[in-house]
Structure 1
């Protein structure tokens, strides 16, 4: 892994470097997939580039392509293996967008009928 752009005390870099007990659910040479600390649904995962980039705007196109290949793989797994009826694919880039960990990551959240995960967001938008 290239740690040249690693920021001090980045929790995702710590996981990538094997400095925590967290185990990936999937991994290749560029990308790691983990279960978040507080999953919003069963099967919720984070798809994370191994190299540190603050947000999606900083990632080179070839790595972004690989990242989304893995996002698609995890989405298909949620539908085929976990019987989800859909998925939400979410990314927050920047503090005002709600980014809380400043190492790019993409949420893949399996959805099921009537799971009511987004009621709070829907209320805020009205």
Structure 2
């Protein structure tokens, strides 16, 4: 575990392992693999970006992640400006899902530290398309990794609806 970070009045431990290679930073740098493809990116703003999530739950195909462009481990460390950018883009992604993915609602969630179920050491917000009978919160152990080909049509639909840049420039 890395040394603690002092933020405001409190000190929080960092949990990323030594020599951690952040997948969200690698994606911004153009480093791709099975779980990080250029086509997964659905929107890029100055301070945040959104991508189709590579991990899906059975009733929530096409989920997305909204991520600050600056590397911050969790909610405790994010600047107000980056936090606003993430929240603004989260709202836009949720609206785009509601419009383009034939869902009847959306849910968001964000995790901090191992006890909070965080498993990628870069803050991110999950945006899920919801359906009346999806049982999202009862199916945690049923999540699977979606292939790039499975993610592609969801990314295309959301990119079209959002109409935002999709490259890191």
Where on the TM-score scale, by shorter chain, does this alignment land: which range?
0.7 to 0.9
How do 1:1-126 and structure 2 match up within 5 A? 8-20=20-32, 22-23=37-38, 24-40=41-57, 41-120=60-139
CA contact (8 A) 2:67 2:123 kept: yes
Q: Which runs of 4+ in 1 moved over 3 A?
A: none
TM-score by length of 2: 0.63
Deviation at 1:109, TM superposition (A): 0.3
Larger Rg: 2
TM-score by length of 1: 0.84
State the number of aligned residues. 115
Alignment correspondent of 2:3 = none
In structure 2, stretches of 5+ residues that fail to align are 1-18, 141-169
Residue 108 of structure 2 aligns to a residue in which SS? strand
In structure 1, stretches of 5+ residues that fail to align are 1-6, 122-126
* 1:25-44 superposed Cα distances (whole Å, 9 cap, x missing partner): 11112112112221222220
Query: Which segment drifts farther, 75-84 or 35-44?
Result: 35-44
